[in-house]
Structure 1
Amino acid sequence: MSRFQVRKVAVLGAGVMGAQIAAHLVNVKVPVVLFDLPAKEGPKNGIVTRAVEGLKKLKPSPLGVPEDAALIQQANYEEHLELLKDCDLVIEAIAERMDWKLDLYKKIAPYVAPHAIVASNTSGLSITKLSEALPEEIKPRFCGIHFFNPPRYMYLVELIPTPATRADILDQLETFVTTSVGKGVVRAKDTPNFIANRVGIAGMLATIIEAEKFGLSYDVVDDLTGKKLGRASSGTFRTADVVGLDTMAHVIKTLQDNLADDPFYPTYQTPPVLAKLIEQGALGQKSGAGFYKKVGKDILRLDPAKGEYVPSGAKADEIIGRILKKPGAERLKLLRESSNPQAQFLWSIFRDGFHYCAVHLESIADSARDVDFAIRWGFGWKQGPFELWQEAGWKQVAQWIQEDIEAGKALSKAPLPAWVFDGRDGVHRPEGSWSPAKKTYVPRSDLAVYRRQFFPENVLGSGAVTPHQAGKTLHEDDSVRLWTLDDEVVILSIKTKMHAIGPGVVQGLLQAVDLAERQYKGVVVWSPDEPFSAGADLQAMLPAFMAGGAKAIEPEEKKLQDAMLRLRYANVPTVAAIRGMALGGGCELAVYCAKRVAAMESYIGLVEVGVGLIPGAGGLTYIARRAAEMASAGNAGADILTFVKDGFTSAAMAKVGTSAIESRKLGFLLDDDVIVPNKDELLYVAIQQAKAMFESGYRAPLKRLFPVAGRSGVATIKGQLVNMRDGGFISQHDFHIASLIADVVCGGEVEAGSLVSEEYLMALERKHFCSLLNHPKTQERIMGMLQTGKPVRN
């Protein structure tokens, strides 16, 4: 695969988007220089400095770890334009003002490297008009790039070419954004607000119109249009508050200013309630009030009729919730035929969305697939509008829409396009997705970068092979599937709920290692969906515990520990491919593999104290061994306790890395483990790592004894715990659990520096783990978690 080498990126504009784009580039190890205007007072880089400092305070954090803010190089347009000459990609991300952007382009043009790509991060301005301010030699290397906010977490990036943009430039940028930045790329046409915001904001406006028509309050609408529809839990009005009502109004104005001939133009009027809120300075979450307002612990909603905030929390009718669980065809039929206002509202917004997408597909996107991906990735829908329409029965739904248009119930009188009624059963087929402009089905991109995605996200009707069906099955039961894609590496996929680790998974791990040692090059632990593993299966333990108490659990716990050691000392490389949560036993499974390959959004930690237990599958043994290894790698007289303390704190406080980068800082990922920006490349990279390790003559580490901090280490830690307990920072039971953790990570009742084995420490783990199972306070915590899913503090 030919690579577009990006040695450094320049981001122009240190506002909300520019600073967060720079932050995410640092997350994925891309050097970045962040520019803004020179400050009028104080240091010239003052504006950028304040923006970079602000990144450390934002929640959710745009940075993998806050200290990486220091890696963003700071610059201003007065002193540092020469730095642009070393940049291979320049992303302009200043305010959405055409005149400001054009002025900036004239200023930077003489300094842009002759090979560099220049891209404007705009949510809707014409990319072609922007390009007119650039010299002729830069125009072929210019395009639009639209990150969604917040850039670290939102998967969608839209790329928008101008008529002058070279095809290879767009290919290079798509490759970089996909594999290096970790995003899902959709190419959009240069039309106002592109694809996602065009369809998404039109949908939000339609929702506001229909909600008013059917007399529904904002909290009911949000309950109806959130998780119940497979969309973002914030629904419609909460989403508007989070995005910012001024931002929403700006996007709406783009529609108003540029789409006078659009058949849906009347729906683009700024809703009076939105205009009034903005006039009052109620801009949503950032100003403390919008459609909702938080007062103390209470969330109030605006009552537009009264012009004041009232208690919120109203939910959808129970019957609507039941309807929404039905298959697509039955669901839409029931909603359309119901007299319930909530059902009529839902049918109306579905109809409005289908109608809008069909009418505009040809002008805004290359294919229906791009619309579905843009909405899924940009607005958090599980299913795009065309996918739902196709699932529910294309012809029947088309007929219903047309009937509503003719009856004057739709938001526009525009008829559905002729292609909708050409006998088709949908827009997605195995050969591709429908393109009205090309009058054919367009296949997915064949760029080389997508060969790294064995199972990329696909659309309903594409006929793509799922990972549950792919490859050759070597063994399958209710707990695991062992399979291979290439007859070289065994893939173990966990099938249990939340990928919890019970006896069946333990047996599967052992079987996978045995298989690989006989005839394969390694084992990759990877599951098609998140999480990697939420930990040990507490439910599976209950029957044994009820029958025989903690004694009945001890043999099962030893089997789990033995499985971890089997992974660590296997004669072939074992690789954990982590995405999402790897908690408790899931974390232990990961750290006992020979290597870890983790997606950026991986959250790893030992969280057993939340249910009143200590890590029992080797997690504390791992902490003790790593502390000894780090101490021996330092000065000869290094104090092991210094290295033990960090691991102890992580386990005792149930610290979880909030990114793969922070998980590395906590010690759950090592320096030579691989962090993969794009979740869909995880399996490819993990398999390549396993093969490379095997081909390099992989040998498991030799079993050896290692020193521990001993009873003096335990005493030191317990002294600090006493102060926390007596100060009221932790409960007596927290103190007891933390003391047991200290006992294991320091090696128990032995002298400091004593040499111990992993088996010795694991026996200590088992002993303390089982003693806690008999403790009433721990039993309270376990039952509370099983019943409510929330930790009990006692």
Structure 2
Amino acid sequence: MATHRSVGEAGAAPAVSTPTSSTATAPGVLRLRKVAVCGAGVMGAQIAAHCVNAGVPVVLFDLPAKQGDKNGIASKAIAQLRKLNPAPLGTPDLADLITPANYEEHLGLLAGCDLVIEAIAERLDWKRDLYQKLAPAVGPHTILASNTSGLSITALSEVLPESLRHRFCGVHFFNPPRYMHLVELIPTAATEPGLLDALETFLVSRLGKGVVRAKDTPNFIGNRIGVFGILSVFAQAQKFGLPYDLVDELTGTRLGRAKSGTFRTADVVGLDTLEHVIRTMRDGLPDDPFRAHFETPPVLAALVAKGALGQKTGAGFYRKQGKAILRLDPATGEYVPADSRVDEGVAAILAERDPAARLRALRASEHPQARFVWAVLRDSFHYSAVHLAEIADTARQVDQAMAWGFGHARGPFEIWQAAGWRDVAGWVAEDIAAGQALSSAPLPAWVTAGPVWEASGVQTAEGSWNPRAERFEPRSALPVYRRQVAAPRLVGEPDSLHAKVVFENPAVKCWTLPEPHPQDVLLLSFNTKMHTIGPDVLHGVMQAVDLAEASYAALVIGQLEDPFSAGADLKAMLPVFAAGGPAALEPVERQMQEVSLRLRYARVPVVAALAGMALGGGCELAVHCAARVAHFETYIGLVEAGIGLVPGAGGLTYCARRAAELRADAAPDAPLLACLKRYALAVASAQVSRSAPDAQHIGYLLPSDTVVMNRYELLYVAVRQAHAMAESGWHAPLPRPFPVAGRDGIATLKAQLLNMKVGGYISDYDFQVAEQVAHVLCGGDVDPGSLVDEAWIMHLERRAFLSLLAQPKTQERITGLLKTGKPVRN
């Protein structure tokens, strides 16, 4: 079972599930409780950051500084982690869990670390020199791993003593480590299998990663396939004469890949990094049949030579000029407007939902944009098939590496299989024979004959195709994967959930997990787009609570896919508003408040399982549950002020009551307003948490709420927590009055808001909305310290919500948001 650590409201580590694994390396259980990272560069520092996100303390090593504090290099890197955007840390204060160190003074600290990750520059000689320093200092059971992106793990291990070689492997994080799901685990022939299992368990459950085991070949799986794909895009873009911005449009979300496409992504990663990985392929793969295309493209070499390395230097394939984004014209070397457009006919083909029809139309089209897209896909199918046996055990590992490491919705084998394995294989073979492919290497025999051909794909109910073993192999049997409820399946794999549906309608689904999961816990999921909340969802929540109280021990509200909820369904409410004005929405508003209180005072524990966004009404439902289990990447907030409203489903009631509870637990002379202020500012500014620990700092999650690092463990943990609460005799809180700050608190908050308006931080209308927030949170025009109940605050909420809804500027904000998806400032 998992153990948990609580997250304090000011600086404690997040509560995370902690795996335990056995290994033959040491008697008993191997627990990876402390990590050392050697190398305080971009990757090393951010790997350290993600470890402390998970509550794992880190010692961050680098060379001794030549002047001043010898820990200066590592200390500077730690300080920089607090400032970076996107933030590598869940909250800046987590950096306090990283200890700076240097190789000259602190090698003795390695003996107390269970895992040492080397993350210095990609130089084989430098890494080997470092290992000779580290080897005598590491503990007898310490795992030593290299974060190399493509160097030979076996070659690196050759300088290690025999006693350490079985504890050495590659562990390749993708950048940025907090946000990229993929970690490649690369053993040598000497690496102990039990140790790999323990490390995989740690990476999956404690750090929340998707682990792919790769073979020790240059660039492993992700970079091998991914960088070849980039080289293919270079070659085909040049062949068909397409500019970089158009290529990015074609290879971005339209192709089920990252929005940034190919060349924008290269700018973000760094063109020097891309050049290095290409060089690794060229130098390390002399016999690759596609090697003719492993040279650094001249345009890339020219950019690197003049120091235009992408985003970090301000220019690469793109350059920002004021608010305009310019793209490089390789013919002139100048930057020109990025205004290319995808052809309407090609856009229609890419929007086709049937994979088979889409690929057939792309291949049949004569338009250069369509021919380009087909060529890029064909090259990925061709290269992946030719090299599968060399780089991976199964096709699954290739598809997962591309999804988790490069943001592809589907990997190459998934796309191929979904579009019709036999047809696509024939098209690829025809292009090879016609000399249109990047290599004349034929497709492997297993593609067109035998079990794969008969099954029409590499993924089946029996497992994923292993070309060396010539069989379909099931997924890993490691116990950690039993914790993953409804982890995504690849095309061709059967559904693994086996849920029992209790009732379902267009708005909600009530269901239970199969044994051995607890059978006395009911689950509720929303079926609406973005899991928005309207009257039908509210009715479904009430129905689920009634059913749980009658026939189950607990209820979990959570979704199989993100987000938890984007909030109220504004679009569905517009016709009601148009027909009857603000007053027509009062019954819906009252219903939302009743649902919040129903959750709070249910006779069984209700646990919210949060991931992705939990905004507005979604936040309000969550804060009224008995407990919350949140994925680390949960972005929660009461955002109604952004559209000119106040939270109206009990959100301000929660904040007022919670501030009173905090005041009761504080020093006797602590003012209530001090506890209330953070909620007032968070609501008035529509603040959204940057992570689950940040939500605990704001106060939308409690210190006792559990944070899990792996999204796919969320429902597993939530169901067991709800079951444990019921088993331990949990009972609902009793309604009690609480003190409010009253008119004095309103005056103080208004003065602070006025300063923000005068300083230009908020607009005049923002100030009017924030005044209403302050009025409700402080309990209205009553004496300071007056005792009120939830019904009183909810009445103030409804009145403020409906009065603001009648304002033209609020209506303008709502209309603008629904039209453009972006907030309107007025």
How does the TM-score come out when normalised to structure 1?
A: 0.99
Check conservation: 1:603, 1:663, Cα contact below 8 A.
yes
Q: Offset of 1:788 from its aligned partner? A: 1.2
Matches within 5 A, 1:109-188: 109-188=135-214
Tell me which of 414, 428, 446 is aligned to 2:459.
Answer: 428
Matches within 5 A, 1:325-404: 325-326=351-352, 327-404=354-431
Give the residue type in structure 2 aligned to 1:160.
I
Give the residue type in structure 1 aligned to 2:139.
A
Aligned-partner Cα distance in 2 for 1:102–1:628: 59
Aligned-partner Cα distance in 1 for 2:67–2:599: 60
Is the aligned partner of 1:476 residue 2:508?
no
Give the residue type in structure 2 aligned to 1:752.
P
Tell me which of 645, 652, 669 is aligned to 1:620.
Answer: 652
Unaligned stretches of 5+ residues in structure 2:
2-19, 22-29
Matches within 5 A, 1:232-381: 232-326=258-352, 327-381=354-408
Tell me which of 488, 493, 496 is aligned to 1:457.
Answer: 488
3-state DSSP class of the match of 1:111? coil
Aligned-partner Cα distance in 2 for 1:701–1:725: 40
Check conservation: 1:430, 1:464, Cα contact below 8 A.
no
Q: Offset of 1:315 from its aligned partner? A: 2.1
Give the residue type in structure 2 aligned to 1:739.
E
3-state DSSP class of the match of 2:111? helix
Matches within 5 A, 1:25-174: 25-174=51-200
Check conservation: 1:13, 1:34, Cα contact below 8 A.
yes
Aligned-partner Cα distance in 2 for 1:190–1:456: 27
Aligned-partner Cα distance in 1 for 2:753–2:437: 66
Match of 1:769 in 2: 801
Give the residue type in structure 2 aligned to 1:381.
H
Give the residue type in structure 2 aligned to 1:472.
K
Match of 2:17 in 1: none
3-state DSSP class of the match of 1:462? coil
Give the residue type in structure 1 aligned to 2:491.
L
3-state DSSP class of the match of 2:538? helix
Give the residue type in structure 1 aligned to 2:425.
A
Is the aligned partner of 1:24 residue 2:37?
no
Match of 1:734 in 2: 766
Q: Offset of 1:296 from its aligned partner? A: 1.1
Q: Offset of 1:354 from its aligned partner? A: 0.4
Give the residue type in structure 2 aligned to 1:64.
G
3-state DSSP class of the match of 1:137? helix
Residues 644-683 of structure 1: per-residue CA shift (max 9 Å, x gap): 1100000000010011111111101110000000000000
Aligned-partner Cα distance in 1 for 2:341–2:611: 33
Q: Offset of 1:697 from its aligned partner? A: 0.2
Give the residue type in structure 2 aligned to 1:767.
R
Match of 2:8 in 1: none
Match of 1:572 in 2: 604
Check conservation: 1:98, 1:130, Cα contact below 8 A.
yes
Check conservation: 1:246, 1:283, Cα contact below 8 A.
yes
Bigger mean CA deviation after superposition, 399-408 or 544-553 = 544-553
Aligned-partner Cα distance in 2 for 1:587–1:173: 35
Aligned-partner Cα distance in 2 for 1:404–1:582: 48
Bigger mean CA deviation after superposition, 675-684 or 344-353 = 344-353
Residues 678-701 of structure 1: per-residue CA shift (max 9 Å, x gap): 000000000010001000001001
Aligned-partner Cα distance in 2 for 1:77–1:591: 47
3-state DSSP class of the match of 2:166? helix
Q: Offset of 1:313 from its aligned partner? A: 2.6
Match of 1:694 in 2: 726
Aligned-partner Cα distance in 2 for 1:690–1:745: 31
Give the residue type in structure 1 aligned to 2:504.
E
Report sequence identity in percent.
61
Unaligned stretches of 5+ residues in structure 1:
none
State the aligned residue count.
791
Aligned-partner Cα distance in 2 for 1:27–1:48: 18
3-state DSSP class of the match of 1:110? coil
Aligned-partner Cα distance in 1 for 2:756–2:382: 62
Bigger mean CA deviation after superposition, 82-91 or 781-790 = 781-790
Is the aligned partner of 1:778 residue 2:794?
no
Is the aligned partner of 1:747 residue 2:764?
no
Check conservation: 1:218, 1:291, Cα contact below 8 A.
yes
Q: Offset of 1:234 from its aligned partner? A: 0.5
3-state DSSP class of the match of 1:118? strand
Poorly superposed stretches of 4+, deviation over 4 Å? none
State the Cα RMSD in Å.
1.0
Is the aligned partner of 1:584 residue 2:616?
yes
Tell me which of 702, 711, 723 is aligned to 2:755.
Answer: 723
Give the residue type in structure 1 aligned to 2:342.
A
Match of 1:447 in 2: 478
Q: Offset of 1:727 from its aligned partner? A: 4.2
Matches within 5 A, 1:607-756: 607-756=639-788
Q: Offset of 1:65 from its aligned partner? A: 0.8
Aligned-partner Cα distance in 2 for 1:775–1:453: 47
Aligned-partner Cα distance in 2 for 1:764–1:175: 50
Match of 1:228 in 2: 254
3-state DSSP class of the match of 2:88? coil
Aligned-partner Cα distance in 2 for 1:34–1:336: 51
Residues 634-653 of structure 1: per-residue CA shift (max 9 Å, x gap): 12232101111100000000
3-state DSSP class of the match of 1:138? helix
Aligned-partner Cα distance in 1 for 2:432–2:160: 45
Matches within 5 A, 1:499-518: 499-518=531-550
How does the TM-score come out when normalised to structure 2?
A: 0.95
Check conservation: 1:432, 1:444, Cα contact below 8 A.
yes
Check conservation: 1:194, 1:364, Cα contact below 8 A.
yes
Give the residue type in structure 2 aligned to 1:439.
E
Residues 336-360 of structure 1: per-residue CA shift (max 9 Å, x gap): 1111001111111111110000000
Aligned-partner Cα distance in 2 for 1:352–1:725: 57
Is the aligned partner of 1:563 residue 2:595?
yes
Q: Offset of 1:729 from its aligned partner? A: 3.4
Aligned-partner Cα distance in 1 for 2:493–2:743: 62
Aligned-partner Cα distance in 2 for 1:366–1:657: 40
Residues 720-751 of structure 1: per-residue CA shift (max 9 Å, x gap): 22333344432222111111100111110111
Q: Offset of 1:578 from its aligned partner? A: 0.4
Q: Offset of 1:297 from its aligned partner? A: 1.0
Bigger mean CA deviation after superposition, 535-544 or 256-265 = 535-544
Aligned-partner Cα distance in 2 for 1:192–1:385: 20
Check conservation: 1:621, 1:758, Cα contact below 8 A.
yes
Q: Offset of 1:457 from its aligned partner? A: 2.1
Q: Offset of 1:569 from its aligned partner? A: 0.6
3-state DSSP class of the match of 2:136? helix
Aligned-partner Cα distance in 1 for 2:431–2:304: 34
Check conservation: 1:567, 1:594, Cα contact below 8 A.
yes
